Every structure is written in C-alpha cells, then in structure tokens.
Amino acid sequence: MRARVAEVLARMSTRDKVGQLFVTYAHGHTAGTSHPRNRAEFGVDTPAEVVTHYHLGGLIHLSWTDSLDEPEQIARLSNGLQRAATDSGAGIPLLISTDQEQGLVTRIGGPATRLPGNMALGASRSVEDAAAAAAITGRELRAMGLNLNVAPVGDVNADPLNPVIGPRSFSSDPALAARLTAAQVRGYQASASADRTVSAVAKHFPGHGDTGTDSHTSLPVVEHTRDRWERLDAPPFRAAIAEGVDAIMSAHLVLPRLDSSGEPATLSPTVLTGMLRAELGFDGLVITDSLQMGAVRDRYPAAEVAVRALQAGADQLLMPQNLPVAMDGVLDAVRSGEVTAERLDASVERVLTVKARRGVLESPFVDVTGAGERVGAPEHGRQAQRITDRTVTVLRDDAGLLPLRPGAASVLVTGRGERATAALARAIDARGPVTTTLTTGERPARQRVDEAVRAARGHELTVVLVGAADTEERSAQRDLARALQHAGARIVAVAVRHPRDAACAEEVRTWIATCSHTEVSMESLARVLFGEVSPSGRLPVAVADPERPGTDRYPFGHGLPGECR
C-alpha cells in the first residue's frame, strides 16, 4: 500500500495535491446535472465539473444538495463523480461521504435501513449492537458508492442542554461512550471484505459534549481543565484511535485552560498537532468540521481560514465558505513557502493512504443494480429491529398501564413528529386497537392542545410523543402532556429525543424513553407497550430534577424491567 501511495504522490502536480485537501458539496441528481447553485458557488455548472475543475479530494452529500434520492440513483451519481475524477488531473478517485449517523442526523432515508441513533444504542449498553448497526450502515453506504461516513459522534453528553450534540452522543459516561465509539469504528471499517469497507470519522475533537453553544452559529468556550478533559472528553477519541479509526474531525471550539492561543481547535496547532497527534498518537486523516460554520467563518477570510487549518494540523478542509478563494489561498501559501512542500505532501499522503486502505484507489466504482438489492435488504431490517428492541427504556409506570392488555379498544397517538406519530399509529393499529393520530408539532398552539384533550376523552389510552419539551421554545409540548393528564386521560408519554424530557411533566405517571423517533424505534415502542418485548434499556445519561437542583429525577442506569407476554 505504501508503494502504491508513493507512486501516486510522485506523479501529482502542486495543484493536484492542493485539490486533494478540499472536500465540498455539489448540487445535482447526476454527475452531469446542471444546477444554478453550482454556477453561483463554484463557477461551473455540474457536479462533475466541480470535481474536475478543482481536482477535489472528496465530495460530501447533504440533505439539501439534491444528491440523495434512492439507492440506484445515488450509485449512478457516485460512479459519475468517480469517472470525472479518474478521467482528469492525476486520475485519483474521490472520497465520497455523508453524515449517516442514524437517529437525529440521517441524510439518506428509506429504503436505506434506519437505525435508532447513538443515545438509543447507549441505552442498550451493547457493544455488539453498536458494531452491528455501524456495519449495516457501512455496507449500504458502500453499495451506493460512498466510502467515508462522517460518524460516529464520540462527544460525551456532559451538558444535557447541549443544543447541537444531545442524542447524537452515546452517553454522559466517558467509559460507555468510549466503548460504543470504538465498536462503531470497528463496524464501519470491518463491515465487509477488507477493500470494500467505509472509513469512519470520530468527531468532534477535542470534545463538543459539554457546551451550551452551537458552533454552527457562534464559538463555544469550554472551560475544561487538563484533568477534566482527560477524564471526560479524551476517552472516546483514545478508544477510536486504538481501534484504528481512519479519520478524526475537529471541532470549532476554544479550550482556554488548555490552549492559550484563543483559536478554535480547528485552527489551533496546540490542539490538532499537540493534543491529537503528539499526545494521543493519531497519525491518520484529520478533517475539519465545515468551514462555513459561524465559529470559524466569521473569524478570518476564507483563504486565511484554510491556511491556518493546515498549519494547525488538519489534512482535509471541509466545505470552505468560498472554495475558489480558499484553494487559491492555499496554492499561494505553498508557492510562497508559508506551507512547505513537506507539509503539503504529509497531508496528501494521509488522504491517499485512506483511499488505498479502503480500496478506493483501485476500485472506486460500484454495481448500480447491486445497490438496489443490498440497500434496505430484508435481513438488515430484521437485524435493525432486533437491535432497536433492546433500546427502549421504561422510566416509570406508576399508573400501572404496561403492558397494555390485549383487546384495548382505542388509542390516540399525539404529539410531535408527523412521521413518528404515523409510524406508531400504524404499529398499534396492526395489533388490534382502533387508532387515531393527531399530530401537534413541536410548538402546539393552545387550540391544538385543547383539540388533543377532547380527542383523548374519546379513547381508552393516549400515547404522546415529546421531544425538547423542556426548552422554553418548545414548552407547549410539556403543556400538552400536562393537559392530557389533568383531563383524566390514561396517558403514556414517550421521550423520543433526549431522556431529560421525562422530567418536564411530573404529573404524567408513565414515561418511556426511546431517544429516537425513527420508524424502527416506534415499532420497538409498540412491542414494549403490548408486552411483546421486555424493556431492557437503561438510561445512558442522568435526568436531573428541575425542581431540586443537584438531584436526579432518574439516575444514570435507571430503567424498569417489564413484563413480556
């Protein structure tokens, strides 16, 4: 592999090398699709032209780039992009990626197999399930021509109010988060034959779990001491490195007690070269988080951000604010010696090594017909359901409603999420009860709350789905749950995002946490409700009592055992 990488590196021009450092998106359903936003942002018309004009090292698909529809379309797009890359410049195939974390962040929908996401997997405590979930996702991504997944999230959810991580984290416990992060790295990178796996990307180093600020809009400041960082943030990344993770993504946040530069980690040599490479011993690929995020975008011009990130120790620059300007800035820095030839080659060698390790250099194309057969394969669905069945946590059942007795006459499903409420209603309806759905959304108006209360009076049981109900902007969900309980409805409330929602309405006497609103989680919820599956989930985070600061309403590891008919 080293000889192959050296051979490719030797034939590359400086422009070829600089191009390998950049990863961006392109708009369009096919490689040859003309799209006005490509012209506006990149000065060319098609995704293929974005690849060839800039000699790109990678391309990322997002939910808003009109790139992701069904498996065969995605596979054809991947092949078209790879053809463009291999027919131009140095002929080097692309790293094609997306953020298929599952759960809250899922770019590719059905028929791709859906899984519940990290915090739900944290509730199961199963290393085997976490690895299997990643393996399913990895196999399906590779079948569609994607060879790098920007996952898993290794951040420890130390701040339950974290606006950007939350249920994307496995746990608030560093040891549990580390075990499951390593398991998913193993699942992604060993999910098929050695040359047909996907690269995993552990993110967001040095740890984004203990902040109340969203780095998409502003710069978080994390006041961790060296000891706290070592105990809380570092373990998942150490575990990922020990497991051989191909890549690590940097976070846009400041650690003033560990780094006196005042720079975001993405732009800090102390963090990327010192902490990550020298201290943790990582010599793989370092990818920045999106350089369009406010935490770095507003700090320096596009060209300077790109150069500073390279000087800090990054290898690939994700989604610069202005690709032409950023690339010209790096080219100028290389030509002037501000970025040395040796430094440039070191990063390009890491990019090529990942491509060689995952078989991309030699075999970038996929079987389009095979994608339709492999993605969403029935066995994947059955395995995903078994995994998800082990993630449901019953927090309390003081009302004695669980499991539901056979022959329940009617059930109202209400609360947030049109897809989630519809999926749960279908699952309950399939078990016999007459089921009504009344979706209220994230911010139900008083009129909608009153409508749900009236509907509940005509049903034997009401299941209400809540998510982020403990935040002020979504507190109407809390009001909905309380109103249903005060009206005398027999109510089961379900936290479908973060378990902390279970503390938002003490009046409700039966609470379940799925930590996920996916269809597979709603099916598992129905199985628990009807006693087909005994709930085995345990809280991967503690749920604080909002009325008694410093006290947990539900402690870490809490979960009631249940009957299984």
Indicate the pLDDT class of residue 122, thresholds 50, 70 and 90. Answer: very high
Q: Where are the domains of the chain?
A: 2-332+347-374, 392-554
137: its two tokens: 């996702």
Looking at every residue in the chain, the average pLDDT score rounds to 95
Q: Which residues are catalytic?
A: 216, 289
Q: How do residues 395-422 score in pLDDT, each as one tens digit? A: 999 999 999 976 668 999 999 999 999 9
* Predicted local distance difference test score (pLDDT) of residue 213: 77
Strand 148-149 and strand 105-106: pairing?
unpaired
E strand intervals along 400-513? 410-415, 434-439, 461-466, 491-495, 510-513
Summarize the confidence of residues 507-512 as an average pLDDT.
Answer: 96
Task: Check whether 194 has a pLDDT greater than 80.
Answer: no
Cβ(466)–Cβ(443) below 8 Å: no
* Predicted local distance difference test score (pLDDT) of residue 193: 53
Residue 538: name the closest of 401, 384, 391 by CA.
Answer: 391
Summarize the confidence of residues 512-527 as an average pLDDT.
Answer: 97
Indicate the pLDDT class of residue 470, thresholds 50, 70 and 90. Answer: confident
Task: Check whether 331 has a pLDDT greater than 70.
Answer: yes
Strand 22-24 and strand 58-60: pairing?
parallel
Give start and end residues of each alpha helix (H) in 337-417: 341-357, 368-374, 378-389
CA 466, 108, 158, 268 torsion-angle sign? negative
* Fold of the domain built from segment(s) 2-332+347-374: TIM Barrel (3.20.20)
Rg (CA), the chain: 24
Residue 190: helix, strand or coil by DSSP?
coil
Task: Check whether 171 has a pLDDT greater than 90.
Answer: yes
Q: How do residues 45-104 score in pLDDT, each as one tens digit? A: 999 999 999 999 999 999 999 999 999 999 999 999 999 999 998 999 999 999 999 999
Q: How do residues 266-309 score in pLDDT, each as one tens digit? A: 999 999 999 999 999 999 999 999 999 988 988 999 999 999 99
* Predicted local distance difference test score (pLDDT) of residue 501: 93
Cβ(238)–Cβ(245) below 8 Å: no
Q: How do residues 226-272 score in pLDDT, each as one tens digit? A: 999 999 999 999 999 999 999 999 999 999 999 999 999 999 999 99
CA 298, 304, 308, 310 torsion-angle sign? positive
Give 275's DSSP letter. Answer: I
Give start and end residues of each alpha helix (H) in 255-367: 269, 294-297, 302-312, 323-336, 341-357
* Predicted local distance difference test score (pLDDT) of residue 195: 53
Residue 239: name the closest of 291, 177, 292 by CA.
Answer: 177
390: its two tokens: 């082990």
Q: How do residues 434-452 score in pLDDT, each as one tens digit? A: 999 999 998 999 999 999 9
Continuous segment of H or E residues that includes residue 401: none
* Predicted local distance difference test score (pLDDT) of residue 71: 98
* Predicted local distance difference test score (pLDDT) of residue 165: 94
Indicate the pLDDT class of residue 133, thresholds 50, 70 and 90. Answer: very high
101: its two tokens: 């974390």
Task: Calculate the CA 91 to chain-centre distance.
Answer: 31
Task: Check whether 565 has a pLDDT greater than 70.
Answer: no
40: its two tokens: 């506006």
129: its two tokens: 């399930």
Q: How do residues 551-564 score in pLDDT, each as one tens digit? A: 999 999 999 987 65
Residue 133: name the closest of 155, 159, 106, 158 by CA.
Answer: 106
8: its two tokens: 């490719």
Indicate the pLDDT class of residue 498, thresholds 50, 70 and 90. Answer: very high
Continuous segment of H or E residues that includes residue 425: helix 418-429
Indicate the pLDDT class of residue 192, thresholds 50, 70 and 90. Answer: low
The counts of H helices and E strands in the chain are 21, 18
Task: Check whether 503 has a pLDDT greater than 80.
Answer: yes
Distances (CA, A) of 278 to 258, 271, 281, 283: 15, 10, 5, 9
Lowest mean pLDDT among 28-32, 130-134, 406-410, 462-466: 406-410
Model-level pTM? 0.96
Q: Tell which CATH architecture fits domain 392-554.
A: 3-Layer(aba) Sandwich (3.40)
Summarize the confidence of residues 331-353 as an average pLDDT.
Answer: 98
Q: At what angle do helices 127-143 and 378-389 cross, to 10 degrees?
A: 150
In angstroms, the CA 478 to CA 490 distance is 16
